[in-house]
Every structure is written in structure tokens, then in C-alpha cells.
Amino acid sequence: IETMDIDTETGSGSGGGGKEDKDVFESTMDAVFQRFADRVGQNPEQVIRYEFAGQPLLYSKNDAVGKLLHVPAASNEKVTTTGKGKLPRCGNCGAGRVFEVQLTPHAIEELECEEDSMEGMDWGTIIVGVCEKDCSPLGTERGVAGYVEEWAGVQWEELSVKR
């Protein structure tokens, strides 16, 4: 088995700083994003992830949504919708909200596939939190559909590269 340095065309051991560049890249890589990319990479055609009362897969821990939901742990990166990191409470009944569904980046391609005029969306994921009691607006008759506003958090694609 021949190994190759990341920035060289010849086998291992040939200068050029390839190994050093690789080490720097891996040490500065956002572990939360890498987890997202690895998981989405397992099923690149996936458009939505559904898991009622489950855990969203964060695109970043550094934006407003990531700071709201990411809870750093000593040994691994965790996301929570209860406890320290949590979704805002339901504006209708005051109950807690839970994660239900999120859109993945492949949804962008599907949404734009027939629209030549679209200039492109640049979000990484959209996370939706819903009332844990599945409440209806006050005064809604039993058996009649009622709609309340739920919570959606957009994690935007980070277009700038940090050096």
C-alpha cells in the first residue's frame, strides 16, 4: 500500500509540507460540521431527516441556532432540545418544543432543479421544532384542524474560509 501526502503527487516522504498541511486542516476542522457532513454523506440523496422528539444534526455550533442547541460535552459533541440547550417554548400554550424535522442540503438541489432563474440558496440546514403537546389554537373545535406557528432555525452555509 502506497500512501500519498495531501499536497504532493509522489509517494510518502517527499517534502512539500503535505503532512503538516493535513494536520493543520484536521485540527482546525469544526467537529460539529464534520459530523454533519459524514452523516449526510451516508445518504446524499436525503432531503429531510425526521425524528419526533429526537436530536437535530447541526451544521455548525457557531451560529445562533448552533449556540442555542449545542451543548458541549467533555468527550463528544452533543445536541439537545431539552436541558441547557433548548428550543423556545410554544407561543400558543407555553409548553416546551421538541425537534421534529430538518431539511438537508440536497433539498436545495431538488428545489432548484427546474428553475433556471434561481440564483441559489445558501443554507446548510433548516431545523423545525414543534410543540411537544401538539396544541391547537384556543377555541378550535375538537376534530377540526387548527394551525399554530412553530419554530424554525436556519443554519446558513458559511461561505468564508477561516485561516
pLDDT in tens, the chain (163 residues): 444 443 434 444 444 555 555 555 554 558 999 999 999 999 999 999 999 999 999 999 999 999 999 887 654 555 655 544 589 999 999 999 999 999 998 888 888 777 666 566 788 999 999 999 999 998 899 899 999 999 999 999 876 555 4
DSSP string, 102-142: EE-THHHHHHHTT-TT-----EEEEEEEEETT----TTPPT
Record the cell numbers describing residue 156, joined without a space.
446558513
Torsion angles phi and psi, residue 37, rounded to 5: -65, -40
- Residue 48: what residue type? I
Residues 83 and 57: beta-carbon distance below 8 Å: no
Q: Any idea what DSSP says for residue 100? A: E
Question: For the chain, how many helices (H) and strands (E)?
Answer: 4, 6
pTM for this structure? 0.71
Residue 17 backbone zone (phi > 0: left; psi -120 to 50: alpha; other: beta) = left
